[in-house]
Amino acid sequence: MHVQRFAPHADLRFTDEEVITLYVFGIIDHKHKIKTLYDHADRYWRDWFPRLPSYAAYVQRLNRLAEVFPALLDKLSPAGAPAVSTGVADSFPVVLAQQSRRFTAKVALEVANSGYCPTKHLYYHGVKVHAIGDYRSGTLPLPRYLGVTPASLNDGPVLEQVAPALAYRNLFADKAYAYLSRQASLPFTVYTPVRKTPGQAHFDAADRLFSTAVSRIRQPIEALFHWIQEKTGIEVASKVRSYRGLLVHVFGRLAAMFLLKGWPDSA
């Protein structure tokens, strides 16, 4: 339904299902680069993939199936209303080019542009992956909403766009969402660490305790991002050369994350 073929002139002895399976299985097996994944499959997995084509042909086939991966991720994501009333939200960068190279980067301009990641103190060309999930005490959050936006788009407006679909009563986030804590139009209450006012040198005791409490609740989503990066290498996309390649890189790795022995109870 998502990728249809109309030309009869194609050798499909190596099937589309095999293309997808090899990529996702390779990511789960910690082969973060497609070249590394392909070379390993060519050497050790020939019994499973006897019709494996050349590397160039495999990459071409993989990019042709790019629209399948967002649909696969949607199918694997949890459905229905969350079982908890508290959610956490944040984003992480997917870097196509960084520092001075971002000015000349031309990759995936359909969705990627230049932005800044304050957590990493990094200027880069790429996209952001936004995640909103269920808060679960003592373990990683369960992501329910995952989206990709240009790197220059602030986190707050993205949350506002999906707010009507969120069934939480309380949402914990970082300071980028601070202005939303004052908006009564949202269906939930947003809690963020306290910002210093102009000229303020120190927080008072109440603000310091409140910020610490908020940070403790939202810290697991940062651990989730670290786990995703460790397992899939999603934040480093310097080898991506096209919009379709970026779709495969982001959504293929997120789909592999859900298939990695089910959803983990801890990192």
Q: Predicted confidence band at 10 (pLDDT cuts at 50, 70, 90)?
A: confident
**pLDDT recorded at residue 170:** 95
**pLDDT recorded at residue 263:** 55
**pLDDT recorded at residue 130:** 95
With 80 as the cut, is the pLDDT of residue 5 above it? no
Per-residue pLDDT tens digits for 139-198: 889 998 999 999 999 999 999 999 998 999 999 999 989 899 888 889 999 999 988 888
**pLDDT recorded at residue 99:** 84
Query: Cα 91 to chain center, whole Å?
Result: 8
Tokens of 109: 């301009």
Q: Locate tokens 């996209």: which residue?
A: 127
With 90 as the cut, is the pLDDT of residue 266 above it? no
Query: Cα 151 to chain center, whole Å?
Result: 12
> In angstroms, rounded to a whole number, what is the distance separating the alpha carbons of residues 142 and 22?
26
H helices of 139-242, where? 155-162, 205-232
Q: Predicted confidence band at 262 (pLDDT cuts at 50, 70, 90)?
A: low
Per-residue pLDDT tens digits for 64-122: 999 999 999 988 888 777 879 999 999 999 999 998 888 999 999 999 999 999 888 99
Q: Locate tokens 């050790």: which residue?
A: 44
pTM to 2 decimal places: 0.90
The amino acid sitting at 240 is V
Rounded average pLDDT over 25-32: 94
Rounded average pLDDT over 36-48: 95
What ranges make up the beta strands (E) of the chain?
A: 86-98, 113-117, 122-134, 142-150, 170-172, 189-191
Per-residue pLDDT tens digits for 196-225: 888 777 888 988 999 999 999 999 999 999
